[in-house]
Structure 1
C-alpha cells in the first residue's frame, strides 16, 4: 500500500522551477518509492549493475541517451554523473527533466554540487509524519484532544463530588 507523502506538492512545484530536482534523505525514508509515484515513465536505478556500468563508462552519452523527464535513483553511487547532467542542462534548460534521489547529501560532493547551483532544487524527505501515517487531516492538537473528556472523566463517573471527595 502506497502512502501519499505531504511533500509531493512541493516536489511538483520544484519541477516547474528547476531542471534538476534532488530528493534527498536518510536511508529507507521512501525516496525511491516516492520517485516511482511521480508519474514519470523513465525510471533508472544505479543499483542496477548494467545501468551503473553504462553510466560510469560513458556518463555524457548515458545522460544524452535517456528519454526525459527521467528519474535517476541512487545518484550517490555515481556522483560524477552530475557533471554530465549539468552539461546537458546548460545546453537546453528545460525544467523538470531530471529527478534524482540519493541517501547522501550533495554536501558530500561539494565541488560537483557547486556546479549545479541555480539548476537544482533540493527536497529533504523525512520519515512519515503522524498525519501521513494516519492519512488524516487532523493536526496533532486535534488528535490528542479528541474525546479527551471521555478518557479523563471515565475513572470518576461514579463518584459523587460532595460525598466521595469532600467528605
Structure 2
C-alpha cells in the first residue's frame, strides 16, 4: 500500500469475498473513496482499471463486447469497471464477461441504478460492499493521530463530527476550505447525480426538502407534516427521499417493534450519511454539537461499523434512540451531548420491557461510569468507549455481541 493511502475497514471484507464471487460491486456516495480503494487494492493483484468516462472505452464496450474483452481485459486476473452501469446494455455485456470467466470489480454511486442496469443480470454471482465516508477510526488514520491526550482526541472527534468524513474534506487544511469542498460536493450530488439519475426536474423542491431534513434529523417522518410545511405532494416527497437514500445522501432508521398495540411500527427516522454534509445544508457549524447532530453522528458511525439500526418508541411516548439486534441479543443506545446523572424514563421502560443484559448511554461530554437498572448494566461512555464495547476484541466489560 502507498504511504498516502488511508486503509479502509471494508478491505477485510473485500479479502474474504474476492475469491468467492466473480463480481463485486462497491457502492457508496460520490467521492467516498471507491475508486481510490480499488486502485490501491489492485496493486496487490494483477488487476486492470477502466473508467467509462472514456468515450472510446465506452463505445467499444457498448458495440462489441468481445473485442472489448480481448483489448482491455486479457492478461488480467481482475478488472475494475468504474461507473460502467451508465453504458448501454451494461447488464447483458457484464453477464457475458462473467460467463466468460472474467472477475470484475464494479463501482457505483447509485445502488438503484446499478441494481436495475447490472446486478439483476448477475443473481447469485455478485455481492455488494458499501463504502461510506471515513469512520472515526479511518479519520484518525488519515490524520496519523494516535489516541492519548484527551484534549487532542476531543478536538479530532469534534472535527470529524462537524466537517464529516469525505476524504477530500478530511485531508484538506482550513475550515473554510472544508466548507467549500462540501458545498461543491453537495451541488454535484444534488444537482447532477440525484436529479439526473432519478429524473427529477424540480431541483428547487429537492433542495428545499434536504434543508427541511437537515433541521429535522432524528424526527419521525410524517409526510402530511412535510407537505403542510413545504407544499410538496406526499408522492413527490417519497420519490425524493428514495432518490436521496439510494444515492447515499440520507439513511432511514426504522422502528423496532415487538408489540403492535403499544409500539410504533411504521414511521422511520431520517439521518444524513455524513454529518459534515448535514451541517453544510443546515448552515450549522457549531463549537459544541447540538443534540440531534450528535445523535446523527452516532447513527452514522454505527452504520459504518456494519450495524443495522432500529429505534424504539411507544405510542405513549417512551423512546430509545437506537436499538441494535444481533444474535437475538438487544442493545439499546441512548445519545446525549451531556452525560445525564440518571437513566431516563425511555431507556428504563425499554429495559423493563425487554430485559436486555446491557445498555449504553453515549455522550459527547462527561465521565464514564457503569450503573445498574435491575439486572441490566448501563454503560455511560463516549464514542470511543462505545466502539471499544462493540468491538469483538474488547476485554473486560465487553458487550459481547
- Give the alignment's TM-score, normalised by structure 2: 0.32
* Residue 32 of structure 2, aligned match among 26, 29, 34: 29
* Residue 92 of structure 2, aligned match among 83, 87, 94: 83
Residue segments in structure 1 that go unaligned for 5+ positions in a row: 145-167
Secondary structure in structure 2 of the residue aligned to 1:43 = strand
The yes-or-no answer on 1:141 pairing with 2:384 is yes
Which of the pair has the greater relative contact order for Cα pairs under 8 Å at 6+ separation?
1
Higher-strand-fraction structure: 2
Contact 1:24 1:105 in 2 (8 A): yes
* Residue 105 of structure 1, aligned match among 108, 111, 128: 111
Higher-helix-fraction structure: 1
Judged with a 3 Å threshold, the aligned counterparts in structure 2 of structure 1 residues 74 and 8 are, in CA distance, closer, same or farther, namely same
Contact 1:59 1:81 in 2 (8 A): no
Bigger-Rg structure (1/2) = 1
Task: Find the counterpart in structure 2 of residue 48 from structure 1.
Answer: 54
Task: Find the counterpart in structure 2 of residue 3 from structure 1.
Answer: 6
Task: Find the counterpart in structure 2 of residue 70 from structure 1.
Answer: 79
Secondary structure in structure 2 of the residue aligned to 1:16 = coil
Secondary structure in structure 2 of the residue aligned to 1:71 = strand
Could you say what the CA RMSD is over the residues aligned between the two structures, in angstroms? 2.7
Secondary structure in structure 2 of the residue aligned to 1:52 = helix
Q: CA deviation at 1:91?
A: 4.1
Runs of at least 4 residues of structure 1 off by over 6 A? 136-139
Residue segments in structure 2 that go unaligned for 5+ positions in a row: 148-381, 388-401
1:94-133 alignment, distance < 5 Å: 97-106=103-112, 109-110=115-116, 112-133=118-139
- Give the alignment's TM-score, normalised by structure 1: 0.72
Contact 1:64 1:88 in 2 (8 A): no
